[in-house]
Amino acid sequence: MDTKNSTAAGSTPAVADTKPILEVDGVTLQYKTKEHLITATYRVGFDVYPADRFVLLGPSGCGKSTLLKGIAGYMKPVEGAIRLKGREISDPGPDRVMVFQEFDQLLPWKTVKQNITFALRNGGKSDNAAEADDIAMEYIQKVKLSGFEDTYPHMLSGGMKQRVAIARGMAMEPDVLLMDEPFAALDALTRLQMQKELLQLWEDTHFTVLFVTHSIEEALIVGSRILVLSPHPGQVKAELNAFDLNHENVGTKEFVEVQQRIHDMLFADRILEDEIQTGDKG
């Protein structure tokens, strides 16, 4: 860990120089089901810096999606605070755009282009229809969907729908792009393709992205920094660097080592979880 940090210091600015764009400070999130009050995360804290590809990684039940909803402003923390550029988050807003896992996140009554211009116009990014059109076309091209701008979402494949959602999110140029397992519902080949394309897009503008996943491999490929969360309730287990890991070194010794390390962290909890569950049944 220490050695890695020292190698990183040459290529990335030191932490002291830059202010975090997003601060999550001792956040406890709770939600109610019909019968229980569930604590999804307990005093979770982390800082996201500009240009981070920050990944929230953990098994199901670690509250990573809930955390993302908190950051998006759909939920208020019962304890702690979430600050974007130093300002506390109170509501959903177009400065933090969500990309969901579900394919129905596109408005079915709008074409590919209209889905993007809808966001631009209503999110206050553009008050000029022609300008919004231009921005939309630029991002449609970026996600390689030229020729599909006038197609309705139901005609698109799952991967194409996710591309539109990503284009819509990026076109808003949010302070932070929030991605909630965006590739989880895709087939393996498409997922690989999408991960590569996301990284290519990131290379262009170094936008800040917060990415939720339960796949260790995806976390290592997509992320530059990984927050590992333990389940029931979600608590910070570790924060790791992964900016030197990508598709090219999947399967190398270095990659597998980190993969194994995270796996061990999560696996320890998994056994515990199984014990609790069998205990509950008995």
Partner 1 sequence: MSTSSNNKKTAIPQLVLRPEFEVSDIEQAQTSEVARKLSTLERIWNIDGVRKFVILLSLVVAWQAYTVGFDVEPLMLPSFWVSFSTLIRDLFYSDLIWKVWFSIKVLLIGYSAGLFLAAVLILWATVSRFGSDFISMATAMFNPLPAIALLPLAMLWFGLGTASLVFVLIHSVLWAVALSTHSGFEGVSQTLRMIGRNYGLKGFGYVWKILVPAALPSILAGMKIGWAFAWRTLIGAELVFGASSGSGGLGWYIFESSQNIDTDGVFAGLFMVILIGFFVENVIFRNIERRTVNRWGMQR
Footprint of partner 1 (CB under 8 A): 72, 74, 91-94, 96-98, 100, 102, 104-105, 107-109, 118-119, 122-124, 152-155, 172
**DSSP state letter for 116:** H
Q: Which of 119, 20, 26, 115 is nearest to 70 (CA)?
A: 26
Cα(152)–Cα(148) distance, integer angstroms: 9
- The distance of closest approach from Cβ of residue 72 to partner 1 in the complex, given in angstroms and rounded to an integer, is 7
Q: How far is CA 282 from the centre of its chain?
A: 38
Give the CA distances from residue 65 to residues 56, 92, 164, 193, 200, in Å, rounded to whole numbers and listed in that order: 9, 15, 21, 23, 25
Q: Which residue lies nearer to partner 1 by CB, 109 or 267? A: 109
| Residue number with CB closer to partner 1 (96 or 237) | 96
Q: Which is nearer to partner 1, 120 or 221 (CB)?
A: 120
| Shortest distance, position 98 Cβ to partner 1, whole Å | 5
Give the residue with the Cβ less far from partner 1, 34 or 281.
Answer: 34
**In angstroms, what is the minimal distance from the CB of 170 to partner 1?**
14
DSSP string, 52-90: -EEEEE--TTS-HHHHHHHHHTSS--SEEEEEETTEEP-
In the complex, minimum distance from the CB of residue 104 to partner 1, in angstroms, rounded to a whole number: 5
Instruction: Choose between 96 and 163: whose C-beta lies nearer to partner 1.
Output: 96
Taking the complex as a whole, how short is the minimal distance between the CB of residue 3 and partner 1, in angstroms?
A: 41
